[in-house]
Amino acid sequence: MEREYQSQQIHKVDTLGQMSTEERNAFGPRLGDIGEHFVCAMALYNGAEVYKNISGVGPADLVIKPKETGLLYEIDVKTASWNKEKGSWEADNTHRVKPPQWAVAFIPEKDNPHIRWPYIHGGDNRGNRPFKCPPGLEDFWNS
């Protein structure tokens, strides 16, 4: 298909996978949009009420009300990138999210897209790292 602006490539969803930061940046804002919709769908699937921010501005992308707590939580969705050196998915900017908002990391793995709360730095000597999340919702995204 001929495009008026050749520099604006349309990437296919099947190119998602272990993307470097450069590849993720080339994919553009679409990946963030996919992540937000994926988080909304999974929160609904896990039994939460979901309220989407339709303006695209503000500190939160959506608000969820999980049945486990019955409380409202402002959620800021961050898309992870594949870190080749560490061999893992990293959502580096989750530390910028401050209360009352909570960050979630969207992992755009091609065959297994998923969501997790960000890790708290540290953990025990076995590599166990606790999540930074609302109390009682540690397993919310694993439902």
What pLDDT is recorded for position 86? 86
Q: Which residues contact 33 (CB under 8 A, 6 or more apart)?
A: none
SS3 per-residue string spanning the chain:
CCCCCCCCCCCCHHHCCCCCHHHHHHHCCHHHHHHHHHHHHHHHHCCCEEEECCCCCCCCCEEEECCCCCCCEEEEEEECEEECCCCEEECHHHHHCCCCEEEEEEECCCCCCEEECCECCCCCCCCCCCECCCCCCCCHHHC
pLDDT of 140 reads: 96
Quick one: how far is CA 33 from the chain centroid? 10
Domains of the chain: 15-142 (3.40.1350.10)
What is the per-residue pLDDT for 47? 96
Instruction: Note the pLDDT of residue 10.
Output: 45
> How many residues are recorded in the chain?
143
Position 14 scores a pLDDT of 44
pTM for the structure as a whole? 0.77
Q: Give the per-residue pLDDT at 13.
A: 44
Identity at 72, one-letter amino acid code: L
pLDDT computed for residue 30 by the predictor: 85
Residues of the chain with pLDDT under 70: 1-29, 121-129, 143
- Per-residue confidence (pLDDT) for residue 18, from 0 to 100: 60
